[in-house]
Chains A and B, each alone.
Chain A
Amino acid sequence: MKTDDLINAISADTQAARAPINWIVWGGVAVGVVLTALLFSMLLSVRPNFEAALGDWRFLMKWAFSLTLLTTAVALTMRLARPQWVSDTTLLVLLGAPLVLMAGIFAEMLTLPANYWLPTMVGDNALACVIYIPILSSLPLAAMIMALRQGAPSRPVVAGATAGLVAAGIAATFYATHCTNDSPMFLGAWYLLGTAIVTAAGALLGAKLLRW
């Protein structure tokens, strides 16, 4: 086929274009939040002393971490969904969440005697955290990957990974209301491990599903 002929065919194709990609990505986030809320309500429950926890800086730290992760990852995913190259320097905004976490760990070190550090970090249901973050992330990750398939990411693996971070951010925000381990030290160990698993899964899916 000659290129001019292809141009004839393309310009005759009057099917409406898809919705702008940033709407689609927002849609993916919204669907992800709703699905995670449903999954959470089926599998887990909000901790009994939830309202008291809202007054504890350690608990709020968990949300500060997960929401920072979520917002930075959503912002990056928006950029990565378009074909324009996104530089490694831009990816550094992802350091936001770890910085929040480090500030929290530092504060915890100042207030907690050193011999409590290890038991605080290990917590009392670390395994549940490492398992539930990926489980709760699965549906929002699927929603985000489906949204990104409508885009044109020039870095599919990175886009998949940030989709994983969005999903983990949503999952961690919900899981934080169930989990009774509030220390940033616990967060730094187990939430991060759960997040890393989801991010790796996202990168793998990105490599498979986001090429175009």
Chain B
Amino acid sequence: MRAAIGGDNAAYRALLQSLSGVLRAAVRRGFAQAGAPLNDVEDVVQETLLAMHLKRNTWDPTQPLGPWVRAIARHKLIDALRRRGRRIQIPIDSVIDTLSVQEDSSGVDRQDAERLVNGLSGRQREVVRAVSLEGQSIRQVAERMQMKEVAVRVALHRGLKTLGAQHRKDQEE
């Protein structure tokens, strides 16, 4: 995380990747304990990763990273369970979901969490898509979309912030 804050993108990606695995397992346990179907697990993992990124100034670099990550994951998990509690569930569907998830949990790991990215619009969405799905560098995106690199960076950052704020809009609906 220290390297990441210092601007080492590769180290940051490696950190996020290893954390996402741990988070996925932890969130799945949390959902299972609450008796909730597991199809929103990936949403919570993504929300946690985003919150970590956007709120990384709340980590004290003199302290271990683990408790801070756990605190954010816990916050997002509780949030998701609360949100879920407010939705009307169709029992049979959720039972089927749970069963299929338990049979093939690797499937759920690969599942797209579409809810998050749907919140983006226009240029932000294009930039986030290009950088994430197609793995293009900022410079490549800038050339292809005929934008300045700075503008691409800003659009990417705004896009991530919008993603981070997305679930709150869901709650208010």
Which of B51, B71, B137 is A84 in contact with, Cβ under 8 Å? Answer: B71
- B160 and A1 within 8 A (CB): no
Q: Does B133 contact A (CB under 8 A)?
A: yes
Chain B's nearest CB lies how many Å from the CB of A163?
Answer: 16
Query: B115-133, CB under 8 A of A: which get 1 and which 0?
Result: 0110000000000100111
Chain B interface bracket (under 10, 10 to 19, 20 to 34, 35 or more): 35 or more
Given the contacts A19-B57, A81-B58, A12 and B71 also touching, CB distance less than 8 Å: no
Which of B20, B59, B156 is A7 in contact with, Cβ under 8 Å? Answer: B20
Give the dominant DSSP class at A's interface: loop
Closest Cβ neighbor of B19 among chain A residues: A7
Query: A1-33, CB under 8 A of B: which get 1 and which 0?
Result: 111111111111111011111101000000000
- A6 and B49 within 8 A (CB): yes
- B110 and A13 within 8 A (CB): no
Q: Does B56 contact A (CB under 8 A)?
A: yes
- B138 and A10 within 8 A (CB): no
Which of A1, A10, A150 is B112 in contact with, Cβ under 8 Å? Answer: A1
Q: Does B38 contact A (CB under 8 A)?
A: no
Residues of chain A within 8 A of B59, CB atoms compared: 82
Give the dominant DSSP class at B's interface: helix
Q: Does A211 contact B (CB under 8 A)?
A: yes
Residues of chain B within 8 A of A85, CB atoms compared: 71, 74
Q: Does B170 contact A (CB under 8 A)?
A: no
- B17 and A4 within 8 A (CB): yes
Residues of chain B within 8 A of A1, CB atoms compared: 46, 112-114, 116-117, 132-133
Q: Which of A1, A4, A17, A151 has the most CB of B within 10 A?
A: A1
Given the contacts A1-B112, A154-B75, A11 and B16 also touching, CB distance less than 8 Å: yes
Bound Cα distance A81, B55 (Å): 11
Chain B's nearest CB lies how many Å from the CB of A9?
Answer: 4
Q: Does B105 contact A (CB under 8 A)?
A: no
Q: Total A-B pairs in contact (CB under 8 Å)?
A: 115
- A83 and B75 within 8 A (CB): yes
Query: B152-168, CB under 8 A of A: which get 1 and which 0?
Result: 01101101100010001
29 CB contacts below 8 A, A to B, read A1-B112, A1-B113, A1-B114, A2-B110, A2-B112, A3-B24, A3-B113, A6-B46, A6-B116, A7-B13, A7-B49, A8-B132, A9-B131, A11-B13, A12-B9, A12-B137, A13-B53, A14-B9, A15-B154, A20-B57, A20-B60, A82-B58, A82-B68, A83-B58, A83-B71, A84-B68, A150-B57, A152-B55, A154-B74
- Using a CB–CB cutoff of 8 Å, the interface residues on chain B facing chain A are 4-5, 7, 9-10, 12-13, 16-17, 20, 24, 42, 45-46, 49-51, 53, 55-60, 67-68, 71-72, 74-75, 110, 112-114, 116-117, 128, 131-133, 135, 137-138, 153-154, 156-157, 159-160, 164, 168
**Top 7 A-B pairs, shortest CB-CB distance:** A5-B132, A9-B132, A11-B13, A83-B71, A1-B117, A152-B55, A18-B57
- Using a CB–CB cutoff of 8 Å, the interface residues on chain A facing chain B are 1-15, 17-22, 24, 81-85, 150-152, 154, 211-212
- Other A-B pairs, 13, CB within 8 Å; known A6-B116, A11-B12, A12-B9: A3-B45, A7-B20, A8-B135, A9-B131, A9-B160, A10-B50, A12-B156, A13-B157, A14-B7, A14-B153, A152-B55, A154-B75, A212-B168
